[in-house]
Amino acid sequence: MTSQVVEWAPCSDRSRERDDPLAATASRGLQWFLVEIEGSWGANAFTSTALGRELGQAIVHRVEAAGMRPLAIRRVARAAHSPAARPAQQAEGDAPAPAPARDDATSRATDAAHAAGGPSSGARKPRWRWAFVDSRPGFEQVRWGEVDAPQELLDVPLDGSTGIRSPDPVYCVCTHAKHDQCCAVHGRPVALALAEAYPEQTWECSHLGGDRFAGTMAIFPGGHYYGRADDAETVDIVRDYLDGRVDGRYYRGRSSLSHPAQAAQHYARLQLGDDRLASFAVVSERMLGADAPATTEVLLAAPAPTLASAADLAPVAAAAQPALVRVVVAETLSQPLLSTCAATRFGRVREYALISLAPPPP
């Protein structure tokens, strides 16, 4: 591929300029193991933190071997958001080349805020909190627990059999600056806004995936991904979620679904005008062809009243119960782009185009 020379700019700025589609970009994650790790994070939030490299690697390997995703969380460090502590467009960690140099005062203020335990300056509890999250449709749950020493995290069952089940959602906002500076620049305002409204349920978190869509956030247990949340009234995203609805302008998809299924749901909501999260559950999916462009058929369930209200899709409304929608999407590739701030080579990323949306054949 011919090399391209372009003026460097943050990956999320470039993504906004290109208007990269958000739909069907939620990273895969069926179950998660969240670990509260206070203090600053290095490039890897488990191995370059207070856990230490050896223990951090052991935790990550154990969680991934169980088919789960590890995620570091910490309370929102309010001090890092003040104008004095954080000059515009500066992140807590060393910015990846050729990003602007780090501001030491900013780094010290951020690290001090996290070392103090986030929003409160009281004494820290000598315990390590964790959460088991199941994002699979029909099995959604969050269970919280804690251990006395970090080594005991290796003994926590990863099957959801322990911990206290919580009915409350968990709002995780990526602020992992040393992974990508955009996550801090765009993520911290989102985290701060949510922490003001939902202090007990809001957490900063490590890398979620999709740095170019910063500020990125996920709502658990469902694993609902959002991007460019700082372009929205952030609290409204959560209010819509609590009301069982989704704003398609910021919704990336659900982590427990395949990317073709995420794309199918996006197009169904767009075409049928139904923004309810509960609508368009995935019934089945199958690949129709592996040759480029790869196409996938996804059958979705939808409430009949929703379908009947769409005048331009009257045949769908006439389908026999249960109401089904057949969506066919094709996997395409974007134009060459730099997907992260640290990227030095251009690459193409997956996108999905709508081929058809109709009732399934009899």
pLDDT score recorded for residue 183: 84
What average pLDDT score do residues 42-54 get?
90
Work out whether the CA dihedral 206, 184, 256, 137 comes out positive or negative. Answer: positive
100 has pLDDT over 50:
no
Stated length of the chain: 362
**Which of these ranges, 43-47, 67-71, 102-106, has the smallest mean pLDDT?**
102-106
- Residue 60 maps to which CATH number? 3.40.30.10
Confidence of residue 184 (pLDDT cuts 50, 70, 90): confident
Instruction: Look at residues 256, 286, 311 and tell me which one is the last residue of a structural domain.
Output: 256
93 has pLDDT over 70:
no
Q: Please, what is the end-to-end C-alpha distance for the chain in angstroms? A: 46
- Of 316 and 37, the one with more pLDDT: 37
54 has pLDDT over 80:
yes
Residues 195 and 181 in one domain: yes
Which helix (H) or strand (E) segment is 166 a member of? strand 164-166
Distance CA 21, CA 206 (A): 23
pLDDT score recorded for residue 68: 98
Residues 127 and 275 in one domain: no
**What confidence tens digit (pLDDT) does each residue in 273-314 have?**
999 999 999 999 999 977 778 999 999 997 655 444 444 444
Residues 107 and 139 in one domain: yes
264 and 288 in contact (C-beta within 8 Å)? no
Residues 113 and 187 in one domain: yes
pLDDT score recorded for residue 89: 31
- Of 78 and 296, the one with more pLDDT: 296
What average pLDDT score do residues 1-6 get?
54
94 has pLDDT over 60:
no
Residues 248 and 359 in one domain: no
Domain count of the chain?
2
Instruction: Look at residues 190, 222, 256 and tell me which one is the last residue of a structural domain.
Output: 256
Give the domain extent around 57. 1-256
- Of 98 and 34, the one with more pLDDT: 34
Residues 312 and 251 in one domain: no
Instruction: Look at residues 205, 229, 256 and tell me which one is the last residue of a structural domain.
Output: 256
Distance CA 25, CA 227 (A): 9
Residues 300 and 170 in one domain: no
pLDDT score recorded for residue 124: 54
Residues 193 and 227 in one domain: yes
The identity of residue 129, as a single letter, is R
Helical segments of the chain, H only: 11-18, 53-65, 104-115, 181-197, 234-242, 259-272, 304-308, 314-317
- Of 83 and 226, the one with more pLDDT: 226
Q: What is the mean pLDDT of the chain?
A: 82
pLDDT score recorded for residue 327: 97
How many angstroms from the chain centroid is the CA of residue 199? 19
119 has pLDDT over 60:
no
Q: What percent of the chain has pLDDT over 90?
A: 59
pLDDT score recorded for residue 232: 80
Residues 240 and 267 in one domain: no
pLDDT score recorded for residue 4: 54
Residues 152 and 211 in one domain: yes
Residues 246 and 265 in one domain: no
173 has pLDDT over 90:
yes
Closest Cα partner for 109 from 79, 74, 76? 79
Residues 298 and 337 in one domain: yes
**What confidence tens digit (pLDDT) does each residue in 309-353 have?**
444 444 544 444 568 999 999 999 988 888 877 888 898 989 999
Q: Tell me the C-alpha to C-alpha distance, in Å, between residue 276 and each of 54, 254, 280, 325.
A: 44, 13, 9, 15
Tokens 């690949």 correspond to what residue?
287
Closest Cα partner for 207 from 330, 17, 32? 32
Distance CA 80, CA 191 (A): 11
pLDDT score recorded for residue 308: 45
